[in-house]
Chains A and B, each alone.
Chain A
């Protein structure tokens, strides 16, 4: 259900966009809306334009927003919107825009996508000042965007009113100041607040929109080749589906994985868990594939065999499809471990000539290779499936293309190259050869503009200035996709925790996209808490139960708690086993794997700067694109074709010059782990104390469940307790506190 805050922000966004739009586009807007039908993503962003949300936009009172806008749309979106947006409502420009919105509303309706493709912008843009320009860029971004951008706005683009840009500029400036003041206080509390306001919202909503839960069928191709079907609520976010899949798979170390939109075959597009699915995929039924997204540099550090098993399945696919190239010998060796894991020891009677042909080990598998595989299989006698998987991974992880996500591009001279994003940075390939490499610590900033992708590189010893290197991607979308993948990989592998959503100051307009999942450091911490008995799982072909594993998932604990919104489960020590997993891995950024990270030791501490809540300020030079290629999009009406000014999206890696270094970092709060999914926010607080030689570990989990009309609170509590027990089977639950919040309590938590 939409939270109030959500509505407000949406409204705000619209108005903000509007300003930009009005200022710059003037009469063009009508055209833009006509472009819409041509877009290839009809079901995309922009959803904010639900009918009820339009009218109140122009008003300055928050309450009026709340009342009037309880759209059926935009559920939960608010939590992903930077907090500063929330306060903006009072600065919204009223008047013509308002009308515009109304018009748009009528034309678009709830489901209608208003995404606009890249399209001409009036020359006027050139005249506008910095801030205005940025606004434009922002809006442009939205239009040109594929469906993934968070801050997209629909109504703005279609609104026809022509505005005096100067006025708007002024207003924006003041707005900006306010934002700055406000955002500081708000940041932290955002999540909770939203959760807590939910109930309120739901009531209101129910008055307006009859409560119909539409579900849509959804299919996910799993790594073992089976397909799972789910019926998802129409507005479900990616995370909901992902969580379901992981639950189905009994997978706890899930941060390495993701769902791929199946509609894009040549390049993987990842389902953004933070956004509604329907905005990201247009075809029905929804089809996804479950894939490894972040390849762990050292799989032996994964906690559970089941996780390694899924990683193996992914790698087998990667290898058989040729995405992960290997030599003949390696194909054979990996194949032999696969056989050992799937079939167990070689048995001359059972394993006749044909047993191997069901398996594909290589893109072009030869008889010779199969013979080699069999020969090697014989030598693995005695290895359990889990051991065979581990051996498989130990070998696979050393392959040079392991975990490298390749993107086609051209260099500045138009030469075809490949850009490979990996745990350590960005690799540049020409044909099969590595011709350059930029480790994350070397990269100060990554950005994209139109179909260009830029990296700004730290100066080397000889150089005095930072240099910016540009690459040409096949199209805007590819550039953005690459940028996102870089943001995600950098965050996952290099940061202790994800950056706060960008606190946009006026001069840092850009994509608000940030990787919102857990970082590798966090997921390692979290998985160090996993202490369930190894779960059973069936292997693909043999359906044999992994011999190295035993135990079964803990059953569901019943609970008679009723309605809950927020409860804490305190788990105390039980028995003699002391929970002492290595938490607070002390800036374990340098993954203790064999791979050396360029400069990781000195650079690591810099990462912590993100925790200060100060957005990194790296002074940047503006890259101007000289080739002013004119856009010649065909529209249905006569439109003046003008040069487009595309927004530059940047991602500044939170690393300053090496001087910021120090010794190995210490996690800010090593013992508090927050994980978040759409439905729950879990904060785990672990305290270890030693009393008279006996150490005691207390784990306090605070789980905030985002209210939803359909949430079964009893079940949610039961589930939470069950999970807590599963994760810490040798501890006992000593206390359960349930808070139910019905009021919007700003100061909570």
Chain B
């Protein structure tokens, strides 16, 4: 079983995964998906292509077992599966998303996770909100961004669910989620954007932690959201935003010699605040019971 022994040990288990859950995007996304900046229009066909490429990488390139949930037109944001659950080891916390229009997204996810035999914990408290995009798990501890989408109560429930780990809160002001400007790029490596808000949040995290993380600072906040995976046959794998999108940030990633780097473009979903981590949930099933 995946006790602390395997997955917690000096964050060695970070990024280990066997399964991924994704969800196809509904056409309603183009018009109805929530977004911070209303100007840009989503090219649905292109968005779909990008997403298929993304899923393809997980499936064929990395060999993960990918559960693809069908889209739901009544849930325009349903492609962003990360927000509706936080999975750590054998336990999945089904969140209560901050945006009321997204609350129903959890249902399909819950069924999917149940099928994987995870211990399911549901956030039922009506005062709690939590988006998975605000949850940064470093392998040693959790940081939860307190944002428009996530509140203190939601963070408390997360702490109750994952009792082994310290859960520290980080105020998030200028962006949608905590992970809008940061993510894990390696077992002890935090990728962080260069904006003032991002750097401030990093400072907070550093102060709160008993551990010292290395940081990888990239010029663009959005590019700091990358996906680190540790795949048995591949080693360190890093999915990051494509050089066409963020050339300067891509150069920074390219300096990571130990990582297998996979650039992925996400131009269309980015228009509705989608980042790389938003579109998948990773699960590590070490034993099929």
Contact surface of A with B, Cβ cutoff 8 Å: 325-330, 332-333, 372, 376, 391, 394-395, 398-400, 424, 430-437, 439, 460, 594-598
Contact = CB atoms under 8 A, between A and B. Distances in A.
B163 A398 contact: no
Given A327-B163, A329-B91, A437-B208, A395 B119 contact: no
Interface string B147-185: 000001001100110111111110000000000000000
Contacts of B119: 328
15 contacts: A327-B89, A332-B3, A398-B8, A398-B9, A398-B140, A399-B4, A400-B166, A431-B152, A433-B159, A433-B169, A434-B169, A434-B208, A436-B207, A439-B207, A598-B206
B209 A437 contact: yes
B162 A327 contact: yes
B167 A329 contact: no
B93 to A, nearest CB: 12
B164 A327 contact: yes
Contacts of A437: 168, 207-210
Contacts of B3: 329-330, 332-333, 376, 395
B155 A598 contact: no
B208 A400 contact: no
Interface in B37-88: none
B211 interface: yes
Contacts of B140: 398
A329 B2 contact: yes
Given A437-B208, A595-B211, A598-B210, A432 B5 contact: no
B1 A376 contact: yes
B159 A395 contact: no
Given A327-B163, A327-B164, A400-B164, A333 B208 contact: no
Contacts of B155: 433
B220 interface: no
Contact of B156 (A329, A431, A460): A431
A20 B61 CA distance: 80
B90 interface: yes
Nearest to A397: B4
A436 B212 contact: no
Contacts of B117: none
A325 B162 CA distance: 10
Judged by DSSP, the binding face of B is: mixed
A1 to B, nearest CB: 47
B32 interface: no
Contacts of B156: 431-433
B214 to A, nearest CB: 11
A394 B141 CA distance: 17
B160 A432 contact: yes
Contacts of B209: 437
A150 B206 CA distance: 39
B228 to A, nearest CB: 19
A400 B152 contact: no
Contacts of B168: 433-435, 437
A596 B211 contact: yes
Contacts of A596: 210-212
B210 A399 contact: no
B10 interface: yes
A619 B21 CA distance: 57
B113 to A, nearest CB: 16
A382 to B, nearest CB: 16
A370 to B, nearest CB: 15
Given A327-B91, A395-B8, 10 more contacts: A326-B163, A328-B119, A330-B3, A400-B141, A433-B155, A433-B167, A436-B208, A437-B207, A595-B211, A598-B206
Interface string B184-222: 000000000000000000010011111110000000000
Contacts of A372: 1
Nearest to B143: A434
Contacts of B144: 433
Contacts of B163: 325-327, 330
Contact of A394 (B5, B164, B208, B211): B5
Interface centre among A391, A398, A439, A597 (most CB of B within 10 A): A398
Nearest to A428: B208
Nearest to B144: A433
A432 B167 contact: yes
Contacts of A376: 1, 3
A432 B158 CA distance: 9
Contacts of A327: 89, 91, 162-164
Nearest to B152: A433
A370 B243 CA distance: 52
Q: Which of B8, B141, B160, B210 has the most CB of A within 10 A?
A: B210
Given A329-B89, A376-B1, A398 B210 contact: no
A52 B61 CA distance: 89
B155 to A, nearest CB: 5
Contacts of B207: 436-437, 439, 598
A594 B1 contact: no
Closest CB pairs A-B (n = 3): A400-B166, A432-B159, A333-B3
A104 B112 CA distance: 79
Contacts of A332: 1, 3
